[in-house]
Amino acid sequence: MDVIKMTDENVLFIINLLIYLLIFIFPVIFYLKFIDKVSPLEFLKLTKNIKQNFIKGFVISILFILVLILKKLIVGFNNINFNIGILWISGLTVGILEEIPFRGFILQKLTKHTDFIAANLLTTLLFITIHIPNWLLNGVNIIDSTKSLVVVSFILGYLFKETDSLWVPIICHSVFNIIIWIGLG
């Protein structure tokens, strides 16, 4: 029987997962259930046309990957690393962990008080803000990362609005992260 080794990478993943659950996911679910007194899954738009929205998310993600491959063919491939370890799992979970609070909760709450463009802008600013500490710790170029994240966040917000489902941005977000981490983006 294989035993999962608890490497520093695995421990960091578990800590990050717990932080996201405690700071973002549980408060959203509790707020919706006990303050707004609504079904969290319905409010977050996770219950309608699940299969159809999964397919939409994958089709959009495949189109995105094809565009990136075309870009790489034109400008040249750098290092592509398919051996990203636990980041594969992280890439799949972070889409859920970030889309629930940002597009599923904040964007919807803000659109009740302002138009969609302003709500998407404010959501994007908050979304960027939570990424800055990680960028600083990892020596990431904040200006370039901010530019990319503004575009991605606006698109995820638009996809959420147009599909009326959180599954599409969750899938696209997860695929985007994995693509960036393997070096295709």
Amino acid 1: pLDDT:
47
Output phi, psi for 151, to 5 deg.
Answer: -60, -50
Quote the CA–CA distance of 20 and 13 in Å, as a whole number.
11
- The tens digit of pLDDT for each residue in 23-46 reads 999 999 999 999 999 999 999 999
Domain contains 128: yes
The residue segments making up the domain with residue 96 are 8-182
Quote the CA–CA distance of 109 and 87 in Å, as a whole number.
31
Domain contains 43: yes
**Residues near 164 by Cβ (< 8 Å), separated by ≥ 6?**
45, 48
Q: Mean pLDDT for the chain?
A: 90
Domain contains 1: no
Domain contains 80: yes
Domain contains 2: no
Amino acid 72: pLDDT:
79
Domain contains 173: yes
Whether residue 127 is predicted with pLDDT greater than 60 in this model: the reply is: yes
Domain contains 140: yes
Domain count, the chain: 1
Domain contains 62: yes
User: b vs e for 50-62, b when ≥16 Cβ sit within 10 Å of the residue's Cβ?
Assistant: eeebeebbeebbe
